[in-house]
Structures are given as structure tokens and as C-alpha cells.
Amino acid sequence: MQRQRNSRWLIASVTLASISLCTNSFAASDEKLLNMCKACHGQTGHNPFPSIPNLAQQNSQYMVEQLTAFKNGQRQDKTMSKVAKLLTTEQMQQMAHYFSKGKD
């Protein structure tokens, strides 16, 4: 009995913690963009698709460089070239930071 109550409390507090983490670091418009990234790359950057790279725990500076390269045409991909053009440098940094912390 007691144990069950404790684990429920734990789940609730973990859920709350992750919600507040998201809302603290992202404005509403950025949140929409981030949701788009998550649709392909996965909630934490881990994803089951063989053609989509995992971003979780990748170096954030590397990710910003890759996004910049997609945006300026140095690196080409039919999806990411379009996606990166929607991002400001600041948004790239925020998203790279978010995924660099990603855990499963």
C-alpha cells in the first residue's frame, strides 16, 4: 500500500519537473519548432529510424555547426536544408543544448 503511494508521487513529480524544464527554456514559437524536430529525431533525440541520426547527447557545438551548414548550403539534405532555414542561430543553440542533454 505505502509503496504504491510513494511510486505514484514519484511519477507525478518527475512529470512536473520535465514539464517545467521545457516551458522554462523555450518560448511558445520555439516549442512548436522543437516539436517538429522531436517528430523525426525523437522526444530526447533518440529515435528508431535508421535514416535519422540520433541527437541525444551529441556535442551541442557540433550540432549548431551542422545546422548552420544545412542553412547556408554547405551540407545538403532535402529535409534538414529546409528545416535549418527556419532557425535563428539562437534557436539552433537552444535546440542543440536541449538534445545534447537528451537521455532515454
* List of residues contacting ligand HEC (CB under 6 A): 33, 36-37, 39-41, 51-53, 55, 63, 66-67, 77, 79-80, 83, 87, 95
Name the residue nearer to ligand HEC (CB basis): 5 or 78: 78
| Rounded least distance, CB 32 to ligand HEC, Å | 10
The DSSP-derived string for the chain is -HHHHHHHHHHHHHHHHHHHHHHHH--HHHHHHHHHHHHHH-TTS--S-TTS---TT--HHHHHHHHHHHHHTSS--TTHHHHHHT--HHHHHHHHHHHHT---
CB of 2 to ligand HEC, least distance (A): 44
Residue of closest CB approach to ligand HEC: 37
Whose Cβ is closer to ligand HEC: residue 26's or residue 41's?
41
Min CB(83)–ligand HEC separation in Å: 4
Q: What gap in Å lies between CA 76 and CA 12, rounded to an integer?
A: 42
